[in-house]
Chain A
Amino acid sequence: MSAATSTRVMRSKEWSRPVRPVRREVVLAQTIEEEPRPPILFVPGYAHAAWVFEEHWLEHAAARGFPAYAMSLRGHGRSGTARGPSDLRAYVHDVVQVAATMPRQAVLVGHGAGALVVAHALARYPARAGVLLAPVFGGWRTFGTALLRNPIGTVPAIFGGRLRLRRGQLFGPNLHTSAAKVYLGRLGGASRQAQWQLLAQPAPESPVGDPPVLVAGSPDDRIVPRSSLNKVAARYGGAPLLFPGMGHDMMLDAGWAEPIDAIIDWLSKGER
């Protein structure tokens, strides 16, 4: 973990201009076990919503004994919108709010740009553990990759339009075309401020409470270049866990069970 940023006490903006409240969608898969394990909160990336985890992962995690929650960031899925900017700060607020309503200290799992939101949230809430999946931490390189692979979908985002993702960016070749079509049709969009913030924003502060952090991704991810994945993993003091052959949306792609099982194995190992 980077020790460069030390604990931040002064948060004048949070104090004088708190984020506006909003209605949030939270989906839960409950366990039937007597002694529940720590709850897991899944945070989807931009344009994605709680449903992407509802599809396979939630029930899978619950079946393995972890109460599993998925949320939608404001402006996504069935969460509401509020006046004021729906920027990265607002998204982080949403995650910390939901985490604090869990019955016990939660594990935060963020996917895509949701991993960036979770990385920021870890500095504001002492999670049991953090998992950053196919993390999109932004920067010009990610932007360049997107521009190269999907110019038509990416260019409008420069002018505040919606970023349109293509099948090839999100899924591997093994996912059935009809399923991919349905999933693509359900995608929404993040706010323009949040999209722009992906280009340049202050690096996440160190997590509070020193939680273990796992970084995982796929070498065949068409959105997150391998170098970015390594960089994020190095920042948290490790190497990424890799799932070759999978696309960016690991929770929907063919072979979705493998990553979630690996995450749960990692959590169970830490549980002792």
Chain B
Amino acid sequence: MSTSSADGDHGRHGDRRDDTAPYGSHATDGAVAPAPQRTGERVAEPARTGGLTATAWNEDSGSWMSQAWKTTEWTGSTQPTWQDDRPIYDRGETVCVIGAGASGLVAIKNLREQGFSVDCFERETNIGGVWNWRHSRSPIYASTHLISSKPFTQFPDFPMPDDWPDYPSHGHVNEYLARYSDHFGLREHIWFGTEVSAVEPAGDGRWHVTTRPSGGGAERVARYAAVVVANGHNWSPKLPAYEGMDEFGGEMIHSSSYKESATLRGRKVLVVGGGNSGCDIAVEGAMHAAVCWHSVRRGYWYAPKFVFGRPADQVNDGISALRLPLRVRQWLLARTLRLAVGDLTRYGLAKPDHRVYETHPIVNSQLLYQIGHGGLRPVREVARFDRDGVELVSGERLEPDLVIFATGYLPRFEFLGSEVLDADADGRPQLYMHAFARRFPSLAIAGMVQPDSGVFPIVHWQTVAIARWLRLREADPQRAADFWQKVATAPDRRWTHAKVKSSTRHWFEINHVVYLRALQRMLGDLEPVR
């Protein structure tokens, strides 16, 4: 692997301490060096050596930069072997990671920590995945904010700076991922602007990975010892099908293409979907649109972001730590919400048709406020569309000129055969702990979970487990076989306490406490040999 000298560290290092350099003493606020992500300094992204040079607009640095697609040999690899008239480059014990978003980055870091060499392929020209809102597939909108507070959002071994707010913005998260990559030197293992088009079992437990430049170009195939898929599951929009949608004269978009509140200004907007994005956009609609309706199918629980002056998830985990029976916790939380939020039906919302913890939590402090100020009108489910408007199940008619479907996303793995992931008839992959492909010990998926908390800590421990598992396979085949016996035969279960509503939205729903306790046990089984 070529290690280009342009990993951006030096430029930054040089001028981030202008005030103190070369030697000085000062007291700083919380974050000692909020390493300024002046991305302009990262001009030479991953300038690979040799080969064709394509020029790509690096939106982050705002400059033209060279993105070279390396056509020369990988250093250290032997001549390719030929199979079906195509050359296959053997990458030995290297592990392939697909995607350089949060899950991919943490996978690289934890695999490297277990001593693996890693090739990561990223279709965009920068890290960050969905959190880099310049990426074409990013669902981020200008006002995106986190619904989990810092302790649940950060990687457990790389905390976010103390002087960031309780709930960081999407810009913070993107900066955090950049700092994480620089700190652990991850960029040098990433092939930017490279798309994975196929991942096929090679037959001997290894994998053939076909890649091509994102802008188009020749494909190449390499053989890897293992593959960790981290392509995310919040980028392929799931659109509902209502009768008469084709006739509707107004504009219809999915929330993934919603970027800024200017889109809403002065318009009659209908937001469909009661998830967190739906609620956020509805709140924006209340502030900017001429009229805003919010259509939800059922009554939900709305958790405020702060209760008793503290982030609500921290209070909730304080309750979880007591290890009380589920029913008692549900009662406690329902009481807390009743106290902090009050009676939802007063706002014209439906009464929740389920207990707390049974659906993915909706965290929004502003929704009820906006309803109470008349800017937002909650309405029932959509029944059908026609040329001029929408009819609701209640029989009411609305005439919006913009409909935003905040109806979520579906996971997509175009490069993998459905038999590899054991997908059921609906396309839901049947993986052990949402991570391990039962029939392919050297394939794992990172980050395909939807926790009632932040994803980063969970995907961190997932990838530690994956790395330890791959290491154990080499180091101790006997223990590895025992472990895999468990994985292959374990019944499919949900990692939640409560009985979660079944819908594609809750395919990957997990309770972070239940899931992390299970991961803790798994990590114990995979404890490295000394």
Tally of chain A residues near chain B (CB < 8 A) = 56
Cα of A17 to Cα of B320 in the assembled complex, Å? 13
B82 at the interface (CB under 8 A from A): no
B218 at the interface (CB under 8 A from A): no
Chain A proximity of B323: nearest CB distance (Å): 9
The reply to whether B524 and A16 contact each other, CB–CB distance below 8 Å, is no
Cα of A103 to Cα of B42 in the assembled complex, Å? 14
1/0 per residue A16-50: CB within 8 Å of B? 11100111111111101011100000000000001
1/0 per residue B70-101: CB within 8 Å of A? 00000000000000000000000000000000
The reply to whether A103 and B33 contact each other, CB–CB distance below 8 Å, is yes
The reply to whether A102 and B158 contact each other, CB–CB distance below 8 Å, is no
Cα of A209 to Cα of B528 in the assembled complex, Å? 11
Interface centre among B32, B163, B523, B527 (most CB of A within 10 A): B32
What chain A residues lie within 8 Å of B162 (beta carbons)? 21-22, 97
1/0 per residue B495-530: CB within 8 Å of A? 000000000000000000100110110011001101
A232 at the interface (CB under 8 A from B): no
What chain A residues lie within 8 Å of B27 (beta carbons)? 23-26, 78-80
The reply to whether B183 and A30 contact each other, CB–CB distance below 8 Å, is no
Chain A proximity of B7: nearest CB distance (Å): 10
Q: CB < 8 Å: which of A7, A58, A78 contacts B464?
A: A7
A227 at the interface (CB under 8 A from B): no
1/0 per residue A200-236: CB within 8 Å of B? 0000000011100000000000000000000000000
Q: CB < 8 Å: which of B26, B28, B150, B461 contacts A9?
A: B461
The reply to whether B527 and A16 contact each other, CB–CB distance below 8 Å, is no
Which residue of chain B has the shortest Cβ distance to A20 in the bound complex? Answer: B162
The reply to whether A124 and B157 contact each other, CB–CB distance below 8 Å, is yes
B13 at the interface (CB under 8 A from A): yes
The reply to whether A18 and B516 contact each other, CB–CB distance below 8 Å, is no
The reply to whether B320 and A30 contact each other, CB–CB distance below 8 Å, is no
Known: A10-B517, A12-B321. A101 touches B34 (CB 8 A): yes
Interface centre among A15, A71, A105, A209 (most CB of B within 10 A): A15
1/0 per residue B279-319: CB within 8 Å of A? 00000000000000000000000000000000000110110
Cα of A52 to Cα of B182 in the assembled complex, Å? 30
1/0 per residue A105-135: CB within 8 Å of B? 1000000000000000000111000000000
Which residue of chain A has the shortest Cβ distance to B453 in the bound complex? Answer: A15
The reply to whether A16 and B23 contact each other, CB–CB distance below 8 Å, is no
The reply to whether A15 and B183 contact each other, CB–CB distance below 8 Å, is no
Q: CB < 8 Å: which of A6, A28, A98, A101 contacts B23?
A: A28
Which residue of chain B has the shortest Cβ distance to A36 in the bound complex? Answer: B13
The reply to whether B158 and A50 contact each other, CB–CB distance below 8 Å, is no
The reply to whether A125 and B25 contact each other, CB–CB distance below 8 Å, is no
Known: A6-B527, A102-B183, A103-B9. A26 touches B28 (CB 8 A): yes
The reply to whether B519 and A9 contact each other, CB–CB distance below 8 Å, is yes
Q: Which of B147-170 touch A at CB < 8 Å?
A: 150-152, 156-159, 161-163
What chain A residues lie within 8 Å of B163 (beta carbons)? 21
A271 at the interface (CB under 8 A from B): no
The reply to whether B24 and A16 contact each other, CB–CB distance below 8 Å, is no
B16 at the interface (CB under 8 A from A): yes
1/0 per residue B460-503: CB within 8 Å of A? 01001000000000000000000000000000000000000000
The reply to whether B30 and A24 contact each other, CB–CB distance below 8 Å, is yes
The reply to whether A7 and B524 contact each other, CB–CB distance below 8 Å, is yes
Known: A16-B321, A97-B30, A103-B16. A7 touches B159 (CB 8 A): no
What chain A residues lie within 8 Å of B338 (beta carbons)? none
B113 at the interface (CB under 8 A from A): yes
A249 at the interface (CB under 8 A from B): no
Cα of A260 to Cα of B17 in the assembled complex, Å? 24
The reply to whether A18 and B157 contact each other, CB–CB distance below 8 Å, is no
The reply to whether A23 and B184 contact each other, CB–CB distance below 8 Å, is no
The reply to whether A35 and B320 contact each other, CB–CB distance below 8 Å, is no
Chain B proximity of A41: nearest CB distance (Å): 10
B327 at the interface (CB under 8 A from A): no
The reply to whether A101 and B185 contact each other, CB–CB distance below 8 Å, is no
B29 at the interface (CB under 8 A from A): yes
What chain B residues lie within 8 Å of A14 (beta carbons)? 151
Cα of A80 to Cα of B27 in the assembled complex, Å? 9
Q: CB < 8 Å: which of A27, A96, A104 contacts B25?
A: A27
What chain B residues lie within 8 Å of A67 (beta carbons)? 13
Interface centre among A11, A67, A96 (most CB of B within 10 A): A11
What chain A residues lie within 8 Å of B25 (beta carbons)? 25, 27, 50, 54, 78
The reply to whether A32 and B185 contact each other, CB–CB distance below 8 Å, is no
Chain A proximity of B389: nearest CB distance (Å): 47
Interface centre among A8, A23, A28 (most CB of B within 10 A): A28
Chain A proximity of B483: nearest CB distance (Å): 15
Q: CB < 8 Å: which of A78, A101, A103, A210 contacts B161?
A: A101
What chain A residues lie within 8 Å of B517 (beta carbons)? 9-10
What chain B residues lie within 8 Å of A102 (beta carbons)? 33, 183
B239 at the interface (CB under 8 A from A): no
The reply to whether B30 and A23 contact each other, CB–CB distance below 8 Å, is yes
The reply to whether B519 and A209 contact each other, CB–CB distance below 8 Å, is no
The reply to whether B150 and A24 contact each other, CB–CB distance below 8 Å, is no
A158 at the interface (CB under 8 A from B): no
Q: Which of B316-340 touch A at CB < 8 Å?
A: 317-318, 320-321
B198 at the interface (CB under 8 A from A): no
Chain A proximity of B189: nearest CB distance (Å): 14
What chain B residues lie within 8 Å of A26 (beta carbons)? 26-28, 32-33
Which residue of chain B has the shortest Cβ distance to A82 in the bound complex? Answer: B162
B52 at the interface (CB under 8 A from A): no
What chain B residues lie within 8 Å of A96 (beta carbons)? 159
A59 at the interface (CB under 8 A from B): yes
What chain A residues lie within 8 Å of B22 (beta carbons)? 29-30, 32, 62
Chain A proximity of B36: nearest CB distance (Å): 11
What chain A residues lie within 8 Å of B16 (beta carbons)? 103
A100 at the interface (CB under 8 A from B): yes
A148 at the interface (CB under 8 A from B): no
What chain A residues lie within 8 Å of B516 (beta carbons)? 9-10
The reply to whether A104 and B185 contact each other, CB–CB distance below 8 Å, is yes
A152 at the interface (CB under 8 A from B): no
Known: A25-B27, A208-B157. A105 touches B32 (CB 8 A): no
A182 at the interface (CB under 8 A from B): no
Known: A9-B520, A30-B21, A35-B10. A97 touches B31 (CB 8 A): yes
Chain B proximity of A120: nearest CB distance (Å): 13
Known: A18-B314, A25-B27. A7 touches B33 (CB 8 A): no
Q: CB < 8 Å: which of A78, A104, A125 contacts B157?
A: A125
Chain B proximity of A85: nearest CB distance (Å): 16
What chain A residues lie within 8 Å of B317 (beta carbons)? 12, 15-16
Given contacts A9-B523, A100-B159, A126-B113, 5 further A-B contacts (CB under 8 A): A8-B520, A16-B321, A25-B26, A26-B28, A50-B25
CB-defined A-B contacts under 8 Å, sample of 11: A6-B523, A6-B527, A9-B520, A9-B523, A16-B318, A23-B30, A36-B9, A58-B23, A62-B22, A97-B159, A103-B33
Residues in A lying within 8 Å of B, measured CB to CB: 1, 3, 6-18, 21-30, 32, 34-36, 50, 54, 58-59, 62, 67, 69, 71, 78-80, 93, 96-98, 100-105, 124-126, 208-210
